[in-house]
Structure 1
């Protein structure tokens, strides 16, 4: 009985969606088109049990020249803390994107298909006076030309430690 339960558990864990599941959907998500200009985001950070740890707002400005872009993010958390991250992005062939920032330990790499984009990266995150290297499995879902929902699962040593959820919309 135990081998059967273990096998079933492993099968269910491997049944997650892939970016190719969204290939025939629309509207088509292009990171360089959506993140170009002024945007605002509202989000929250949850721990692995779902408890909300923090809420925040992000003001963003994206600029692209050809296949290279810069995305400036200014965070304001509900406890008054502020943070700035500047992404350096690159558009590759066939919907592939990559990105780096000062606190990104392993560059973001991923791909857009249909209305979705999935990319993964490792971020240096301060936790209780220490810096943790958290792995992000980041999914963006374009709702229309001006809005998207972003969900990112955070993990450490292969274990899920929390999630970040964002509502992002273009200004003007």
Structure 2
């Protein structure tokens, strides 16, 4: 049984996209350029079956000094809940980025290639009176200089539990 599970896991991993798949694509995504200034996002959270659980809007403001940036996010959910997250970002060599926030349990780490970014992190998510540590496999795709699509798969113990999708655009874009 363990061999079967390992074989299936390897098969699924071999079918997934790699950041290098986007190496020769344009326009080039640089977080310090895109997430600089005022942005707005619209998104939804879906369960593992695809049912929409929540919809939301996010007002964002990004500011960079050299290779360090701060991205402030104010979430407004369709049920009236609000949430604030402040990301502290760092740009490294070769398109690498890292990020932390108060509710990020395992810091974000990833890389850009062409118009795509893939990074992974663990987020503390409150749900039904408990806090769950969910792993995020986060992909961003730059459509043009003012618009980006963000798709993040959420998992727990290696099992997919849902997805978050966002449309992000620069204000005035």
Structure 1 ranges of 4+ moved more than 6 A? none
Structure 2: distance between partners of 1:147 and 1:155: 26
The residue matched to 2:15 in structure 1 has which SS? coil
Residue 145 of structure 1 aligns with which residue? 145
Which position in structure 2 is the counterpart of 1:15?
Answer: 15
How far off its partner does 1:8 sit?
6.9
C-alpha distance in 1 between matches for 2:8 and 2:103: 38
| TM-score where L is the length of structure 2 | 0.94
Q: How does 1:12-161 map to 2 (within 5 A)?
A: 12-161=12-161
Could you say which residue in structure 2 is the equivalent of 1:170?
A: 170
Helix, strand or coil at the partner of 1:123: strand
Does the C-alpha gap of structure 1 residues 114 and 126 become closer, same or farther in structure 2, counting only changes over 3 Å?
Answer: same
Q: TM-score, structure 1 length as denominator? A: 0.95
Query: CA 1:153–1:8 in structure 2 vs 1: closer, same or farther (change >3 Å)?
Result: closer
User: How far apart are the structure 1 equivalents of 2:54 and 2:154?
Assistant: 15
Gaps of 5+ in 2: none
Q: Secondary structure at the residue paired with 2:32?
A: helix
**How far off its partner does 1:80 sit?**
0.2
Q: CA deviation at 1:131?
A: 0.1
In the comparison of the two structures, how many residue pairs are matched?
170
Once residues 51 and 18 of structure 1 are traced to their aligned partners in structure 2, the CA distance between those partners, rounded to angstroms, is 27
Q: What runs of 5+ residues in structure 1 fail to find an aligned partner?
A: none
Aligned-pair CA distance for 1:13: 4.1
Q: CA RMSD in A?
A: 1.7
Q: Deviations over 1:40-63 (max 9, x none)?
A: 000000000000000000000000
Separation in 2, partners of 1:9, 1:125: 26
Following superposition, the deviation at residue 7 of structure 1 comes to 4.9
